[in-house]
Structure formats: C-alpha cells, structure tokens
C-alpha cells in the first residue's frame, strides 16, 4: 500500500536533508512533482535547460535540479566532486538520462556504445555514493511514437529499451554489496506504459503519472523513517520479535510431539487390529474399538490447529507476501447496508406459529 504524504509529513521526513535530481527534462518533471509534495504552491518556472534550486527554510530542506541531459564527462565530474569530499554529499540522489543521446545522435548504435562506456565510468562513483546516500537511477519511460514531433522521431521504444537494459546490466554488475547498490527506479517505466497515450507531446508523462512517481519515491525513502500504518509498500521486512520466536518454537514442538504420539498410537493399533486363529486357520473379525486418544494427544492436536491459524494470520497481515490495499471507512458505507437489512427484516417477517401450521397441513 502507498501512503499519500501530506506536506507536513514530507517536511518531517526530509528535515535537514539535501536532495538532488540529476538529468534531463523527464527528471526535471519528477523534480517539480516531488517539491510540490513539500510545497503545493510551487509553480514550474525557471530555465528549462538549466539548474533549478528549491529550498524550504522552515524545515531546512534543499532540493536541486541539475541539468545534465546526457551521461557524459560533465555528469561524471559532478558525481566525482561528491565522492571526493570537496562538495557536501546530498542525502538523496535521483539521476537518469538517455533520450537526448538518442536524439542528438539520431539513434545511432555508436551513441549507445558510448552511453555504455560513460555509464560504466560513473557506476563505481554511484556505488561509492550509495554507501552513505540513497542513490536512485530512473529508467527511461516509453514514448508514444505516433505523437512525437519530427525532431524526436528517432526516439523509439526499441532504442529506449536498449538503453535501459544497458543501464540495469552495468549498474547491477558493479555491485558486490546488495545493501549499498544503486537502486533502479523502474516503477516510472511501468506507469508510463499505461498512461503515455495521454501525453501532450508523446515524450513527457501526464501530470497525474508524474505525481504518482514522486509519491512512490517519497514512500521509498520516508516509509522506513515515518512508518505510516497504510504505507507497507516500501518498508523493510520487520524482524521477528521475541514473542513471535517463542510462539513459533512452541507450535513447532507441538506439531512434532503430536506427530510422534499419533505415529506410536497408530502402530500399536495396527498390531492389535487383526488377530489370526492359527489353529482354525480363520481370521477373526478386527476389533471394533478405535484407539484410545489420550488427553495429551487431544491437547497437542488443538495446539497444532491454533499454530496453523496463527501462521496464516501472520502471512496475511504481517508479512509482505500478499498484496494489500487501502481501506477507508465512511458513515454511508457502514449505515446504508445496515438500514437496508433492517428494512428487509421488517417487511419479510412471518409468525413462526403460522409457518408451522402450514407445514403440518402440507404434510
């Protein structure tokens, strides 16, 4: 489940934090949607092909958009300045770029090869940053090719998939520590597959999809800090408590004990079940008495049932194995069904004595 953060909650989570969005126009859109969670009054102003700063002084939050439309030497130098300590490291880094490389090089294979070389060069730097900061690499969204202008016709979904595959392969292969690796932000790509048809230019996502991506990004970072009740999507698996461990051991021992006792009783019952008369050569009828069930066996059997029920509840409620959904309570959804049932009960009631007389006459 995704928690919808209010601006006050976002400020509490991001207090004294520095966030950097690094990339092209698509990352700039994500940047605007993200800061609108902090301050809904923000307007999309400023140089589209330049750096855009944002600061919330009340919570000491600083969010910057840095215009780097290509993965090249300039982007590498910026990331390197953070790793060398000459510039303060951001707490969160959101980066991604590819469509400009496809556009200005007319979708050539040489551009893809150079992209692989450049992202291979910055991958170790991103991995180094990921040890102390949260680093997200945003995969490129698909485009709606029918709506692209002539200057963007070379940006095809086939090319975008090739660039995404290269980024995922290189960033994942360079990581040895799974806890410190760069997080690949692929949810934007999945959302775009369903909503890119509503795009105004075929390249950029509609505003509703961008807002959803920003809210997911907020959940990814803040859920482990704020721990909202309805925000289970991005929280780490909670560790088992002492009570849960003791309960697990108790029910496990109960199941093992019940199986052992049942096995012993069954074996004894089978031995005494059939008796053969050796002198007459005839088999006597088996004893009709069932094996006596001891109190201990009945108690262990009950504990086994309780253990299975508790395990089912744990998997459904506490674990992240099954999908969950937000549930909302409203007075109308609660009282309308109750009133409906009461009305039905008033109009569909009969005297039980009359019903019994009718049944008797029918018989």
The residue ranges of every structural domain in the chain are 7-226
Cα angle 307, 313, 315 (rounded to 5 degrees) comes to 100
* Ranges 111-115, 175-179, 332-336: which has the least confidence: 175-179
**pLDDT, mean of residues 122-131:** 93
**Element containing residue 343 per DSSP (H, E):** helix 331-347
Single out the catalytic residue among 204, 209, 211, 254.
204
Does the annotation mark 25 as catalytic?
Answer: yes
Residue 41 in this model has a pLDDT that exceeds 50: yes
Q: How confident is the model at residue 331 (pLDDT cuts 50, 70, 90)?
A: confident
Q: How confident is the model at residue 176 (pLDDT cuts 50, 70, 90)?
A: very low
Residue 291 in this model has a pLDDT that exceeds 60: no
Closest CA to 62 of 125, 23, 8, 11: 11
Residue 290, pLDDT score: 56
**pLDDT, mean of residues 45-71:** 93
Residue 23, pLDDT score: 96
Residue 292, pLDDT score: 65
Single out the catalytic residue among 25, 108, 133, 175.
25
Q: Which residues of 209-221 are buried (b: 16+ CB within 10 A; e: fewer)?
A: bbbbbbbbbbbbb
Residue 151 in this model has a pLDDT that exceeds 80: yes
Single out the catalytic residue among 201, 208, 274, 294.
201
**pLDDT, mean of residues 16-42:** 96
Q: How confident is the model at residue 18 (pLDDT cuts 50, 70, 90)?
A: very high
**Strand 134-138 with 61-67, pairing:** unpaired
Does the annotation mark 201 as catalytic?
Answer: yes
**pLDDT, mean of residues 228-246:** 78
What mean pLDDT value characterizes the chain? 85
Residue 174 in this model has a pLDDT that exceeds 60: no
DSSP per-residue codes, 224-269: HHH--TT--SSPPPPPPPHHHHHHHHHHHHHHHHHHHHHHHHHHHH
Which token pair is 62? 């600083």
**More confident: 95 or 346:** 95
Does the annotation mark 265 as catalytic?
Answer: no
Q: How much of the chain exceeds pLDDT 90, in percent?
A: 58
List % helix, strand, coil for the chain (3-state, nearest 5).
55, 10, 35
**Element containing residue 22 per DSSP (H, E):** strand 18-23
Q: Which CATH superfamily is domain 7-226 in?
A: SGNH hydrolase (3.40.50.1110)
Q: How confident is the model at residue 320 (pLDDT cuts 50, 70, 90)?
A: low
Residue 125 in this model has a pLDDT that exceeds 90: yes
Q: Say how far apart CA 278 and CA 271 lie, in whole Å.
A: 16
């Amino acid at each position: 489940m995704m928690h919808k953060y209010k601006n006050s909650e976002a400020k509490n989570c991001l207090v004294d934090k520095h966030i950097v969005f690094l990339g092209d126009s698509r990352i700039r859109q994500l940047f605007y949607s993200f800061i609108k969670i902090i301050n809904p009054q923000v307007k999309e102003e400023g140089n589209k092909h330049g750096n855009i700063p944002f600061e919330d002084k009340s919570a000491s939050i600083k969010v910057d958009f840095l215009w780097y439309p290509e993965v090249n030497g300039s982007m590498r130098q910026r990331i390197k300045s953070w790793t060398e300590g000459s510039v303060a490291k951001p707490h969160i880094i959101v980066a991604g770029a590819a469509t400009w490389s496809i556009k200005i090089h007319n979708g050539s294979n040489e551009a893809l090869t150079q992209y692989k070389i450049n992202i291979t060069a910055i991958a170790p730097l991103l991995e180094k940053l990921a040890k102390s900061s949260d680093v997200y690499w945003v995969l490129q969204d698909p485009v709606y090719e029918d709506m692209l202008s002539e200057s963007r016709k070379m940006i095809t979904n086939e090319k975008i998939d090739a660039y995404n595959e290269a980024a995922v392969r290189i960033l994942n292969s360079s990581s040895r520590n799974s806890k410190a690796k760069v997080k690949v932000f692929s949810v934007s790509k999945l959302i775009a597959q369903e909503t890119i048809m509503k795009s105004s230019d075929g390249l950029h996502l509609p505003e509703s999809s961008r807002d959803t991506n920003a809210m997911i990004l907020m959940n990814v970072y803040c859920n482990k800090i704020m721990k909202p009740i309805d925000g289970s999507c991005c929280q780490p698996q909670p560790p088992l408590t002492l009570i849960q461990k003791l309960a697990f051991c108790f029910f496990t021992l109960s199941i093992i004990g019940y199986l052992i006792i049942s096995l012993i009783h069954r074996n004894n019952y089978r031995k005494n079940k059939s008796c053969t008369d050796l002198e007459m050569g005839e088999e006597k009828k088996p004893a009709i008495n069932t094996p006596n069930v001891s109190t201990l066996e009945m108690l262990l059997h009950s504990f086994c049932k309780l253990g299975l029920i508790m395990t089912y509840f744990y998997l459904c409620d506490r674990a992240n194995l099954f999908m969950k959904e937000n549930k909302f309570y409203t007075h109308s959804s609660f009282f309308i069904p109750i009133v409906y049932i009461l009305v039905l009960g008033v109009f569909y009631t009969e005297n039980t004595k009359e019903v019994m007389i009718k049944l008797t006459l029918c018989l």
